[in-house]
Amino acid sequence: MVGRKSLLKRILIVDVPMLLILTFTLGPYLWMLLTSLTSENRLFTEGPSLAGATLENYIRLFSTVGFLTNLIHSFIIAAGTVVVGLSLSVTAAYSFSRFSFRGKRYLLLQFLIINMFPVVLLILPLFVMMRVLGILDTHLALIIANATVAIPFSVWMMTSYMNGIPKSLDEAAMTDGCTRLGALWRVVLPLCTPGIIATGIYIFITAWNEYLYALTLGGRNVRPITVAIQTLIGEYEVEWGLLTSGGIIGAMPATILFLIVQKRLISGLTQGAVKG
């Protein structure tokens, strides 16, 4: 039985500190939300407030700044990266999880090492390379750039999900006349669907949020939302109502997706670390 005294103790040493940390975590975001709902001319006289909340900043964002095009660019790039990242990594992950072969460890570590290198080291040569190929400022350029992060990540995640599916299932399928690839396609992949979805969503989020590649390799034609927001900061320097509404819209898809898959994603992400 929980007595009143221990309840009070719990509130003091757990609930209150947790609430403080959550205030620190969510405060900046909520402040941005509140600012975006305050009309521009009241912002500097009375400060952000819920009284008289209005959507006028959001309406202006879409009507005059043309935010919708940027959202579409971001969507194309993020979706393209998901397709590239997943399709290239499924067979690789299967190979890692089901076979043991010479050089396996080095190949696996090869995928791990990629994300350790500074973005700057990659961004300069990629820019030069894409300039030579003439694909700067296209969706393809940004999909390729984002794939440098997505492929290794996805190989690791998919390998960890596939390791969780018993090998005996493939063997059974192959005894029933499936080929190797048939077993992958008909047995392993369907069982991995939740893992594939979580990995895909995470790739989508990182590609959506990506900024440096978009700034360097994009341009006038292809301008994803992150670059658009940064441009807004330069153009509408003091119009914080408009700026913060841009921030809310830009962060919305990633935040919602993240909250949906956070549980599965985190168990996948932390698995490797806990073993280490």
Count of Cβ atoms closer than 10 Å to residue 126 Cβ? 19
Between CA 89 and CA 92 the distance in angstroms is: 5
Find, among 141, 128, 129, 120, the residue nearest to 223 by Cα: 141
CB of 79 to other proteins, least distance (A): 17
Distance CA 242, CA 65 (A): 10
Residue 5 interacts with other proteins (CB under 8 A): yes or no: no
Span 45-84, contacts to other proteins by CB under 8 A = 47
What are 206's two structure tokens?
């990182």
In the chain, what is the greatest distance between 2 CA atoms, to the nearest angstrom?
76
Nearest to other proteins of 64, 101 (CB atom): 101
Closer CB to other proteins, 151 or 187, in the complex:
151
Return the residues of window 187-226 that contact other proteins according to CB under 8 A: 205, 208-212, 216, 225-226
Closest distance of CB 16 from other proteins, Å: 10
Q: Per CB under 8 A, which of residues 18..47 are in contact with other proteins? A: 18, 21-22, 24-26, 28-29, 31-32, 35, 43-44, 47
Q: Measured in Å, how far apart are the chain's first and last C-alpha atoms?
A: 39
Beta carbon of residue 227, minimum distance to other proteins (angstroms, whole number): 8
CA distance 228 to 175: 55
Considering only 9, 167, 193, 221, the residue that binds other proteins (CB under 8 A) is 167
Contact by Cβ (8 Å): 38, 241: yes
Asked if 272 is part of the footprint of other proteins (rule: CB under 8 A), the reply reads yes
Q: Is 144 helix (H, G, I), strand (E, B) or coil?
A: helix
Count of residues near other proteins by CB under 8 A: 101
Of the residues 5, 64, 99, 134, which one makes contact with other proteins according to CB under 8 A: 99
Tell me how long the chain is. Answer: 276
109 lies in the binding site for other proteins (CB under 8 A): yes
Under the binding rule (CB under 8 A), the answer on residue 245 touching other proteins is: no
- 240 lies in the site for other proteins, by CB under 8 A: yes
Binding map of other proteins across residues 142-161, x = CB under 8 A, - = no contact: --xx-xx--xx--x------
For residue 12, what is the DSSP state?
I
CA of residue 226 relative to chain centroid, distance:
13
